[in-house]
Amino acid sequence: MEGRIHIPQGVGLVIVGRNEGPRLLKSLERTDAAGPVVYVDSGSRDGSPDVARNLGFHVLELDPAEPFTAARGRNEGFAYLARTWPGLEYVHFQDGDCLMHAGWLDAGRAELARDPTVGLVSGVLREQHADASVFNRLLDMEWQQPAGDDVRIGGNAMVRAAAFEAVGGFKKDLPAGEEGDLHLRLRQAGWIVRRIDVPMAFHDADMRHFSQWWQRCVRSGQATAEGVDLHAGEDAAGARRLRSNFFWGLAVPAVGVLGAPLTLGMSTLVPAVGFGALYTKILRAELARGRPLADAELYARFMVLAKVPQAVGQLRYRLRRARGEKTRVIDWRDAGR
């Protein structure tokens, strides 16, 4: 991670953020402001745009007349680079709470240049302060996914500009889950989405409260439900997560609670047994991946619990759709503060 971030030939950099404060400053201070790089701000109240300008960065402040989303910020940043530096082959999207590894831009460019069938590439993301809280530790484990094709990738990634433009970029009105939507459309257009085993960035979640973790899970459930609706049967992985969340997060607890009066409380054993079996299944899978027992146990325990807020997020999405309302951005950082 050490060293300054220089922008290689043919590559542009879009950094998006909102109220990231010291995290953004730390990231920008390591980045060469010269050349095709832009910071896109979504209504920050902490002076982030001025911080970026003072460091010499091009800054775009999104019009508050439209809803702020990370997808919109990335799209507008990409369009700005395309207008200002026409002919860019690749663009990397970076979240403002991340520190990029000094060698990543060269590695990402090399992979896209090596294999013309790859439309988007990502690397290894880790949590900066994994030991600061149990929730940071959980996120660090979440980021540790295997390399390969057709994998789930977050917002930090490098795209082939031609592929990104061909599929219309991110769906700008999605408040969450915009990455999965883009990846699905890229695959449908014949492009490969790939993660390579190369250090890419360190994320700084600073997640210290259970309520923050809970709200992030609610957001995940909402994004899953909206993504499945958007692609109408084409998102098989999303549909499986949707069914799993509904079954474990709503149906199983409901059987235990609602059946208690009729079964003299015996139905409360259903969630206990079911969640125990799910916990064991996840634990074995994590141990098989090579996680230490303590990490595997923690991950399994919270993944079982996560089914409930994820199901809540799905239910909230359905209720909003039934009332004809659009989904809203869920800012988990504000929870518990």
Cβ atoms of residues 94 and 13 within 8 Å: yes
Instruction: State the Cα–Cα distance between residues 315 and 147, nearest whole angstrom.
Output: 33
Pair 54, 191 in one domain: yes
> Which domain-ending residue is among 184, 208, 232?
208
Q: Among candidates 316, 107, 115, which has minimal Cα distance to 222?
A: 316
* pLDDT tens track for 40-68: 999 999 899 999 999 999 999 999 988 88
Pair 204, 240 in one domain: no
Instruction: State the Cα–Cα distance between residues 303 and 251, nearest whole angstrom.
Output: 17
3-state secondary structure at position 148: strand
Does some domain include residue 291? yes
pLDDT reported for residue 335: 65
pLDDT reported for residue 9: 93
Cβ atoms of residues 141 and 215 within 8 Å: no
The C-alpha angle 52, 58, 62, rounded to 5 degrees, equals 85
The domain total for the chain is: 2
For 31, which DSSP code? B
pLDDT reported for residue 211: 95
Does some domain include residue 239? yes
pLDDT reported for residue 279: 96
Pair 176, 51 in one domain: yes
Instruction: State the Cα–Cα distance between residues 114 and 178, nearest whole angstrom.
Output: 27
Residues of the chain where predicted confidence (pLDDT) is lower than 70: 1-2, 335-337
Pair 198, 316 in one domain: no
Model-wide pTM > 0.85: yes
pLDDT reported for residue 336: 58
Pair 191, 269 in one domain: no
Cβ atoms of residues 156 and 150 within 8 Å: no
Pair 191, 239 in one domain: no
Does some domain include residue 222? yes
Pair 280, 193 in one domain: no
- Phi/psi for 129 (5° steps) reads -125, 65
Does some domain include residue 5? no
Pair 25, 95 in one domain: yes
Range of the domain at 305: 214-334
> Which domain-ending residue is among 175, 208, 241?
208
CATH of the domain at 34: 3.90.550.10
Cβ atoms of residues 264 and 282 within 8 Å: no
Cβ atoms of residues 62 and 129 within 8 Å: no
pLDDT reported for residue 337: 56
> Which domain-ending residue is among 181, 208, 235?
208
- Phi/psi for 93 (5° steps) reads -100, 130
CB-facing half-sphere around the CA of 195: CA atoms within 13 A: 21
Q: Among candidates 14, 35, 12, 155, which has minimal Cα distance to 89?
A: 12
pLDDT reported for residue 239: 87
Pair 112, 204 in one domain: yes
The C-alpha angle 295, 298, 304, rounded to 5 degrees, equals 135
Q: How far is CA 173 from the centre of its chain?
A: 16
Pair 178, 55 in one domain: yes
Pair 116, 259 in one domain: no
Cβ atoms of residues 29 and 39 within 8 Å: no
pLDDT reported for residue 328: 80
Alpha helices in the chain (DSSP H): 22-29, 48-54, 70-84, 104-114, 134-143, 161-166, 178-188, 210-231, 236-246, 252-258, 260-263, 269-288, 293-322
Pair 220, 172 in one domain: no
pLDDT reported for residue 2: 64
